[in-house]
Amino acid sequence: MIKPSIYVTAFCGLGLATIVLLCVYDMIPMNPLKIGRRLKLIMPDRQHQRSQTTVPDKRVMAKLEVYFDKQNIRNIQKITKRYFDPKKDVIYFSDFKIFMQKCDHLKFTLRKSKKTCNVVRTPIKHYRTCAVVGNGGILLHSGCGAEIDAHEFVIRCNLPPVHKYRRDVGSRTNLTIVNGKRLKQISDVLQSGDFKRQKSALAELGETPGMILGHSIQDPDNIREIQVIDTAIKENKMSTITAFPSNSFKENKGLYLDLIGRMARGNFASTGLNTFALASTFCDKISMYGFYPMSTYRGKPVPYHYYDKRTHSESHDLIEENELFKRLDDQKVIRHVVGKCKDAPTIQSALEGAWMKLQKLGELVI
C-alpha cells in the first residue's frame, strides 16, 4: 500500500516543476521559436507584391524634378540634419543586440570610447527622388498612384492598405515608418493564435514591403513587438527588412520650433513632419502626398484617412505643419501635392505626342 505522504510529495514535486517551467518560459520572451512555431504554417499573401498596375514613368519624373531649388533645399537640410541621420535613425534590427552591447544609445557613441557607434549599419542609401506618402483622405480619387510610383524611393506611414487604392496612392513602398500603437496592434494579432487574423496581418505587412522602421522605441515593449514582426517576416520568407532608431523620434524636441518658429503644444513634431525631416537627410527631391489636415477641400468633405471612416480631429499643430509644407513648396524645397495629380498624365501624353512626331520625322528622313 502506498503511503499518503508519497502522494503529497509527488503532487508538490509536480507543482514545483510546473512553476519552474513556467518561470523559465516567461524569462525568455524574445525567444523567436515561440512565435515562429505558431506562425510557421502561414504563408503571406504575395499577390499584393506582384500586382503592380501603375507603371512608373521616368519621363514624368524628369519633368517634375525641374521644380526644385537646390540652395533652398540645402538650407532646410542644415536644420533637419541636426535632428536626423540615417546612420543612427534607421539601423538594421539584426544589429540591435550589438548596438545594446557596444553603444550608448542616447549619445550614439561606443561605450568604451567617445567615438561614434560604428558597429551598426543602415539599409538607407542616398536617393534622387522620394515620395513621402501620408494617409490623408485627400488622396482618395487623386489619381496620384502612377506619379507616386515614379519616384526612386517611396516612404509611407503606419502600414496602410495600398493595393485596393493603388490608382490613388501607388503600389510601391520602400520604407514604412510605424508608430508604437500600430506596432503593438500588428504584433498582438501575430501572436493571437487566430489563424485568420494572423494571415491578414501578414498580408498587411506584405502590401508595403521594403523596410519597416518602428519610430518610438523608448518603451521596451516596442522592441519586443519589432522582434515579433521580424520573426514572422523571416518565418514566412518575406523580403521586408526591419529597422529601429537609436532614439525615439519624439525625443527630437526642437525640430518643430526650428522649422516652424514656435513650440508645438505637445512639444514634438508629428510622424509626418518627422518623416519629412528624416527623408530630407537622404533624399534630394521630395514630393509629399496625403498630407492635408483640414476636413474640407474646395468645399468638399475630406475623410481623415483614405482607407477608413475615422472622423477628423483638426489639430492646431497639424494645421501649422501644413502651413510649413505650403511654405516649403513655395520655396521649391518640396512638392506638396494636394488634390488631383492631373499633371502626370498630361505631361506623359504631351511627351508621347512629341515622341510620335519625332518618329514620324525619322520615317520621313529615311
Q: Which residues make up the interface to ligand NAG (CB under 6 A)?
A: 152-153, 172-174, 209-210
Q: Find the shortest distance in angstroms from Cβ 325 to ligand NAG.
A: 23
> Residue 237, SS3?
coil
All three cell numbers of 245, joined, read: 532608431
SS3 sequence, 105-136? Answer: CCCCEECCCCCECCCCCCCCCCEEEEEEECCE
Ramachandran region of residue 96, left (φ > 0), alpha (ψ -120 to 50) or beta? alpha
Q: Please, how many CA atoms are within 13 Å of residue 85, restricted to the half-sphere of its CB?
A: 10
CB nearer ligand NAG, residue 145 or residue 209: 209
Q: Find the shortest distance in angstroms from Cβ 52 to ligand NAG.
A: 8
CB nearer ligand NAG, residue 174 or residue 227: 174
- Say if residues 102 and 124 touch (Cβ distance below 8 Å): no
**Strands annotated E in 190-256:** 211-214, 241-244
238: burial class by Cβ within 10 Å (0-12, 13-18, 19+)? middle
CB nearer ligand NAG, residue 173 or residue 271: 173
C-alpha 178: how far from its chain's center? 5
CB nearer ligand NAG, residue 18 or residue 53: 53
CB nearer ligand NAG, residue 137 or residue 160: 160
CB nearer ligand NAG, residue 213 or residue 338: 213
Ramachandran region of residue 231, left (φ > 0), alpha (ψ -120 to 50) or beta? alpha
